[in-house]
Amino acid sequence: MKNNKILTLAFLRSFYLQATWNFERMQNVGFLYILLPFFQFIYPDKEKRKAVLLRHLGFFNTHPYAASVILGIVASMEAERAEQDTIGEGEIMVLKTNMAGPLAAIGDAFFWATWRPFVVALSLFIVVFFVEDPGFRGTWFAPLFFLVVFNALHLPFRYWGLKVSYTARTRVVKIIAGMEFQKIIDFIRYMGMVIVTLSFVFYLLFSLHSTAEYAVVIIVFLATIAGGAVLKSPTALFYILTAIGVVLAYMKIDFIKFM
């Protein structure tokens, strides 16, 4: 029961993993800060605890959401080492280091490159859907919707990773592999394209008021597709088009004048 309370505390402290970055050892201070109450509990002897703290001040860097998996495994192995001394410190450090890279890749591909853009697309679709409603004053709703939906997956994953990895240890690797993240990523990306297309079509049908506006939107849309195919850099093209849009908005160009 005590371990569960300390693990819950570790989950809350895990949001400070990136609070103290350094170029030499990256997230090492944050990692140690998260598990400090746990180490204080399992290592009441100050000298043993000091040795453990110094050992975990080594280099550490992974995706902040996936770090909970490593935190849980390390906490479980350190608890067994403190009680029975059947696990070598080298085994713990090797596992900690070897898991950081693969989990960082999974976290970047899923949360940063897939889930976050998908939720952004959903949020924008809501704005496009209600933009013509005179009673809609919900410019605040899109970011709120984004935060709620994004964290509805992010927060449970962090807590689940910590609890399951503490119990399953290295078996959690098989559990994560069985989740088939690549298939999930492909599906979410497909749904994201559908949402973006629906947003564009809805905007084209209901939010434009002149032939010139239709022409401009269609040209920009086709230029985005063609540019992304030629330049093979949709991100760069996105920023270019965003800059053009900001300039046009700043100049207060009214497309209706072109009629």
Instruction: Read off the pLDDT of residues 109-132 as tens digits, 9 standing for 90 and up.
Output: 999 988 998 898 888 877 777 766
| The two three-digit tokens of residue 143, written as one number | 């970011």
Q: Is residue 142 part of a domain?
A: no
Among candidate residues 66, 83, 98, the one where a domain is terminated: 98
Which residue from 8, 17, 25 is spatially nearest to 107, judged by alpha carbons?
A: 17
Side-chain-side CA neighbours of 106 within 13 Å: the count stands at: 19
Among candidate residues 75, 98, 121, the one where a domain is terminated: 98
Q: Render pLDDT for 44-92 as a digit per residue (tens, 0 to 9).
A: 888 889 999 999 998 999 999 999 999 999 999 998 888 887 888 888 8
| The two three-digit tokens of residue 193, written as one number | 């394209």
**What percent of the residues of the chain are helix, what percent strand, and what percent coil, each to the nearest 5?**
80, 0, 20
The pLDDT of residue 209 is above 80: no
The pLDDT of residue 153 is above 90: yes
Domain hosting residue 236, numbered range: 208-259
The pLDDT of residue 235 is above 70: no
What are the beta bridge partners of residue 60? 26
Structural domains of the chain, count: 2
Quick one: pLDDT at residue 20? 85
Q: Is residue 167 part of a domain?
A: no
pLDDT band at residue 259 under the 50/70/90 scheme: very low
What are the beta bridge partners of residue 26? 22, 60
Among candidate residues 71, 98, 125, the one where a domain is terminated: 98
Number of neighbours of residue 174 by Cβ within 10 angstroms: 10
Q: Is residue 64 part of a domain?
A: yes
Quick one: pLDDT at residue 256? 42
The pLDDT of residue 15 is above 90: yes
Q: Is residue 203 part of a domain?
A: no
Mean model confidence pLDDT for the chain = 79
Q: Is residue 220 part of a domain?
A: yes
Q: Is residue 27 part of a domain?
A: yes
Q: Is residue 118 part of a domain?
A: no
pLDDT band at residue 136 under the 50/70/90 scheme: low
User: Percent of the chain at pLDDT above 90?
Assistant: 27
Quick one: pLDDT at residue 1? 45
How much is the average pLDDT of 144-162? 92
Q: Which long-range contacts (CB under 8 A, 24 or more apart) does 42-45 make?
A: 42/78, 42/79, 42/82, 42/83, 43/82
